[in-house]
Structure 1
Amino acid sequence: MLLRPITFVRQSGLPIATQIYLSLRTSLLNGEIPVGVRLPSTRDLATQLGVSRTGIVSAFERLVAEGYLTSRVGDGTRVSEIQIDKTAPAVENVAPARLSKMAQQVIQTSPRGIMPLLPFRPGTPALELAPLELWGRAMRMACLEAKPDALDVSDSLGLPKLRQLIAERLYRTRSIVCEGEQVAIVSSSQQAFYLIARLFLEQGDEVWLEDPGYFGARRALFAAGANIVPVPVDKDGLDVVRGMQRAPNAKLAYVAPSHQFPTGYTMSLERRLALLAWAQSSDALIVEDDYDSEFVFEGPPLAALYSLSKHARVMYIGTFSKTLFPAARLAYVVLPKNLVEPFRCIRRVTDGFTPTLLQHAAARFLAEGHLDRHIRHVRAAYAERRDALMDAAKLHFNGLANLVVVPTGLDAVAWLPPHVSDRAVASAAHKQGVETFSLSQFAMEPIAQGGLVLGFSAFSADRIHLAASQLAKVLATF
């Protein structure tokens, strides 16, 4: 006896046995087949439906295993005595789970989906220049040479060989003196921010954050319960005096001293030393985000803030998302020695470790010199694209916006006249197929002058000139 017909579609990608199981389960959960009713035999039901008996047997076995049906020799298959709430609303009408206030605020500030890459999206490397053949060869060799232990659970801090290679490279390129044991491999800078916050912050602890500043760091720190204190940024970087006035006892300070995002400013030596002195006197720690310092176009690169710290007050974060591509999902943290073991423990309770085979591939890629060669190659390309943006700005932005010379990084700021809303311009530009972020959207407090963050690294000179022309037409309407 069946009070509700079993429905299935023969040409569906879903196996008929699965469709029959789902149809019967729906009827049982809705109480459409009374408790105790004996179902037709699998042979009879297969004949009625015109399907293989094997599929019916498979569906019945699943329903018996899950408790919807009972089957006894000589008594057939009957509906179990399951408690059904017939007044319960359909699943699609059930109210969503009650989210925490933190989750609600994170959702409000998080981007919605992945949008197509358009000029001038900032912070994006030239994906068409990614060394996929070399990276693929490194991945292939990592798999071919992998021993069984490479497939097991791995050290939460990462592969020792990769950590050592990163430490050696940081000494050459960023003047950082550290041991491989102090390097922790993570999946992204974002994860590093969150882990550091969970490691050191209690709910409501104050954290200095550059303002305007990188909202990825803001979201991660907020999600960890931080009380974020916006600290103004000017041409010399983070204003340490203002930070001390606003939150002298903050537990952490987040800075990008080599190339502040989104303003592009570099922190002066005086400010760097003042920040380190404050951290020492206040027993605070500094998170240094060094996301794109590899791409210096004019003059020698500045040494990392970490290299100036004499009292183990700085945690340095680097990433392969900019030097290679975001899908690499590889970043790293350089930790003071006394924080290595605590970081290992806090990493274990999140995702445990970064995929080991991926780390083996990255180690081979670095050891064979491919990363250094790739960076030299794209640095030259980015310099040309930067020049193209500067030329396009001179040609099209005359009086409409002031593009500041870019000595380093992947993007630049076009400052707008005081009376122009950068958010309104960015919104209007997007409707014309130009993606640019307003400076004010990165700020927690009102800013004196609006601007547009223009990424150039991911786009050819032709696309840059075309997009600049389109943006100029938008600017002319304000």
Structure 2
Amino acid sequence: MKQTAGALLSSIRLDRSSRRSISVQLYQGLRDVILSGGLRAGERLPATRTLAKETGVSRTTVIDAIDRLVAEGMLVSRVGAGTFVSDTLDRERPPPVGDAARPSGGKQPRLSYAIGHAGADFARRSWLPHRGGAFVTALPALEAFPMAHWSRISARLMRAERGVMMGYGEPKGYAPLRRAIAMHLNVLKGMNCDPGQIFVTSGAQQAFSLIGQLLLNPGDRVWMENPGASGARNAFLAEGADLVPVRVDDEGLVVSDGLQKAPHFRLAFVTPSHQQPLGHVMSLSRRFELLKAAEDAQALVVEDDYDSEFHFGSAPQPALSSIDANERVIYVGTFSKSLFPALRLGFIVVPPRMVEAFDRLFMDWASGPPTMTQAITADFMDEGHFATHIRLMRRLYKARYEALMEASAQLRGAVEVQQTSGGFHTPARLAPGIDEARVVAQAAQKGVTLVPLARYCLAPLDKAGLVLGFGCATPEDISHGISVLRGLPEIAAQLDQ
């Protein structure tokens, strides 16, 4: 074999069924071979005709891929001699960092004080689901989403003025979407808010992070529901806040417990419309008690309203923000449950006196979601599809909840599933002697997802439990899941007693 023909590159695989163009695949294949050390510095590539023949593509495709690598400085083209791997790579290429090459016991990168010292308290979020089934939480019924309407709106907006759809967009969010959100909140939640008070974010998680950045200093005390939502917990921990676990009962956050533990608090985080994860609705008297405590402490309240659209019991309570006479409540909403999580779209409604501070934050620091995403959502709401979807989902989730309650009667005595009036998850108490961690592990081995109540806790609870999702599980999924639970050793032993 003649050396002048250049290196053999038979390792490059081209997938003609892929959405990526052949030119891009060839470019990436050559680039990967070079970066991995498969081609040494100074080594000659085959002639473009030879490479085209060996890979089964046109010479034009090969030239295009090689020209891109020459432009990046990975290849050098010499007239009359050919194309060679750049010598620069040998001098500058970092050594591979695979498991075998990574030195054991080496120092880890230095983390910020807040992250390094709060790490043990962070709630793991790697469990967020991607597929439905029994008893997955936090995931709506994606199969019921009206994709045809969404696609039609998307196609229409793709033909709209490019400057609006493709530019940087408005810092606080696309104006038509903020108007649509304001109208939705006024009708559904009794909130008399103006679009100027609304700031669009990349999901509720970014909203919590921005609130923490703007309002918290290291050491500030923050009341957190215990058990409670993990996303806000992580965001506030990252700012160095001192989180105070506050007990929750049937009326919501126990304000007296918070005052006993930290009377001089900076923030209180609550989920009053549908407590996460216990499902309680905060009573009106408890709401007024919380607002008075915030006023006395000159504190603020973050209201997380993550799934209140999906009530199927009696009429839901209005938002805490709607009865806030002293502008103490910052309201956070999300479309992750009402539409779909991958949308990464949320919003903050701030009191009028805080609009200027948030305007500065969003103008100078925050970067919101793509304008196209916001525009599709705005039109989806303005055309009535959002309201129709919510009505359909309420009926669907109610039917799935009823299927869960009916099937769970088989577990009575070992697992007591609590009633709820909305959302698409509900907690279940385990009988004394049943270990929730073992139940979760045993169910996972049989393909059933369970979330332990302990995952939501800052401080341990006196009772073990689970959180059962039913929104993305069909009645058949639910029936199968209950059958699996009934057969688990931990639960079966309790049922046999």
* TM-score, normalization by structure 2: 0.82
8 Å CA contact 2:47–2:82 kept in 1: the answer is no
1:6 aligned residue: 7
One-letter amino acid of the structure 1 residue matched with residue 391 of structure 2? R
Establish whether residue 420 from structure 1 lines up as the match of residue 427 from structure 2.
Answer: no
* Matched-pair identity in %: 33
1:476 corresponds to 2:492 = yes
- Deviation, 1:432, is 2.0
Deviation, 1:55, is 5.6
Aligned equivalent of 1:172: 187
Structure 1 residues 265 and 433: CA distance shift in structure 2, 3 A: same
1:353 alignment partner, SS class: coil
1:398 paired residue number? 412
Q: How many Å separate the matches in 1 of 2:454 and 2:138?
A: 17
- 2:334 aligned with 1:319, yes or no? yes
Label 1:45 to 1:157 Cα distance change in 2 as closer, same or farther (>3 A).
Answer: closer
Residues in 2 aligned to 1:468 and 1:192: alpha-carbon distance in whole angstroms: 36
Give the one of 281, 301, 305 matched to 1:266.
281
Partner of 2:454 in structure 1?
440
Equivalent residue for 1:241?
256
Q: Deviations over 1:298-347 (max 9, x none)?
A: 21110110011111110111122111222232221111123223323333
Equivalent position of 2:476 in the other structure:
462
CA contact (8 A) 1:230 1:444 kept: yes
Q: Which runs of 5+ in 2 are unaligned?
A: 15-21
Q: Which of the numbers 98, 109, 112 marks the counterpart of 2:109? A: 98
Give the aligned partner of residue 162 of structure 1.
177
Name the structure 1 match of 2:199: 184
Is 2:255 the partner of 1:255? no
Contact kept? 1:70, 1:80, Cα under 8 Å: no
Structure 1 residue runs without a partner (length 5+): 34-38
1:212-247 Cα offsets, whole Å, 9 max, x none, are: 111122122223332222111111211111112222
Letter in 2 for 1:344: D
SS in 1 for 2:336: helix
| Amino acid paired to 1:465 | S
Cα distance between partner residues in 1 of 2:185 and 2:261: 34
Give the whole-Å Cα distance in 2 for the aligned partners of 1:319 and 1:161. Answer: 17
* 1:266-295 C-alpha deviation (Å, 9 max, x unpaired): 222222112111111212111101111112
Equivalent pair of 2:123/2:455 in contact (CA under 8 Å): no
Partner Cα separation in structure 2 for residue 138 and residue 88 of structure 1: 47
How much has 1:197 moved relative to structure 2? 0.7
**1:299 aligns to 2:310 (yes or no):** no
Decide which moves more: 341-350 or 106-115.
106-115
Change (3 A) 1:181 1:323: same
Describe the superposition over 1:146-189 as per-residue Cα deviations: whole angstroms up to 9, x where unpaired.
45233211112112222122112211111111111111111211
Kindly provide the amino acid, as one letter, of the partner of residue 272 in structure 1. Answer: R
**Distance in 2, Cα, partners of 1:384 & 1:28:** 58
Instruction: Assess, with a 3 A threshold, how the Cα gap between structure 1 residues 165 and 57 changes in structure 2: closer, same or farther.
Output: closer
Give, in whole Å, the separation in 2 of the partners of 1:157 and 1:316: 15
CA distance in 2 between partners of 1:100 and 1:136 (Å):
43
Say if 2:132 is the partner of 1:117: yes
SS of residue matched to 1:91: coil
Tell me: CA distance 1:447–1:6, structure 2 relative to 1, closer, same or farther (3 Å): same
Give the RMSD, CA atoms, in angstroms: 3.6
Listed one character per residue, the Cα deviations across residues 36-59 of structure 1 (whole Å, up to 9, x for unaligned) are xxx87x8x9679988879968975
Aligned to 1:366: 381
Matched residue pairs, number?
468
Does 1:209 pair with 2:245? no
* C-alpha distance after superposition, 1:435-465 (max 9, x if no partner): 1211122112111111111111222222222
**Alpha-carbon contact 1:189-1:318 (below 8 Å) kept:** yes
Q: Which amino acid aligns with 1:273?
A: F
Q: Could you say if the C-alpha distance between residues 356 and 379 of structure 1 is closer, same or farther in structure 2, counting changes exceeding 3 Å?
A: same
Q: Is the 8 A contact 2:129 2:139 kept in 1?
A: no
Report the Cα distance in structure 1 between the residues aligned to 2:381 and 2:492, rounded to whole angstroms.
48
**Quick check: 155-164 or 93-102, which moved more?**
93-102
Q: Does 1:152 align with 2:172?
A: no
1:196 to 198, 211, 230: 211
TM-score w.r.t. structure 1 length?
A: 0.85
Kindly state the Cα deviation for residue 198 of structure 1 after the two structures are TM-superposed. Answer: 0.9
Q: Report if aligned partners of 2:212, 2:236 keep a CA contact under 8 Å in 1.
A: yes
Matched-pair contact (CA < 8 Å) for 2:74–2:89: no
Distance 1:107 1:407, change over 3 A: closer
Q: 1:230 aligns to what SS in structure 2?
A: strand
Q: 1:172 to 1:107 in 2, by over 3 A?
A: closer
Deviation of the 1:254 alpha carbon? 0.8
Assess if the C-alpha contact under 8 Å between 2:216 and 2:241 holds in 1: yes
Distance 1:86 1:312, change over 3 A: closer
